[in-house]
Amino acid sequence: MLKVSASLLFVLLLTTACSTPWASRVVRFNQQEQANFVVRYYTDDTSYVLKPSKTDGPFMTVFSKKAVLDLAKQQTGRELAVVILIHYRAEGAAEAVRRNWVSLLKEAGYQRVVFLRASTSMQINGLPVLASGS
């Protein structure tokens, strides 16, 4: 019994020790000021443009993907576009969404596209970076 308890304690400590460095390696976004365009994407029919800020009175304007791209093309600076994504259950679905956005935003002239994991707030800096492409 003592050996089993000691073994379980060892496994617990090993698991905790191995997970701590990974958690500290999460890259957090901190270039909100440098971003030329920021969109929070949910579906092709529902997105919010956070930079430049687009609202209807006190509420954020809901954009379709086509409207988001039209607005992205109107921006004068096109160095950095940021797409904030919700969590996808299937990694294949997330990858398809990222590839599509990279293609569309590169076609619009953006030099770099960064993908962030959405949180419950509309804050941009501090969000985890999912992928970044030049």
**Coil, helix or strand for 27?**
coil
Reported confidence tier of residue 121, pLDDT bands at 50, 70, 90: confident
Q: How many residues does the chain have?
A: 134
pTM, full prediction: 0.79
Match 């304007």 to its residue by tokens.
Answer: 61
**pLDDT for 82-99, tens place per residue?**
999 998 888 888 899 999
The answer to whether residue 8 scores a pLDDT higher than 80 is: no
- For residue range 29-73, list pLDDT tens digits in order: 999 999 999 999 999 999 999 999 998 889 999 999 999 999 999
Query: Dihedrals φ, ψ of 51, to 5°?
Result: -145, 115
Contact assessment for residue 75 and residue 38, using Cβ atoms and an 8 Å cutoff: no
Residues 6+ apart with CB under 8 A from 45: 64, 65
- Integer angstrom CA distances of residue 5 from 12, 19, 46, 73, 80: 11, 21, 52, 62, 53
Name the pLDDT band for 16 (thresholds 50, 70, 90).
Answer: very low
Q: Is the pLDDT of residue 1 over 80?
A: no
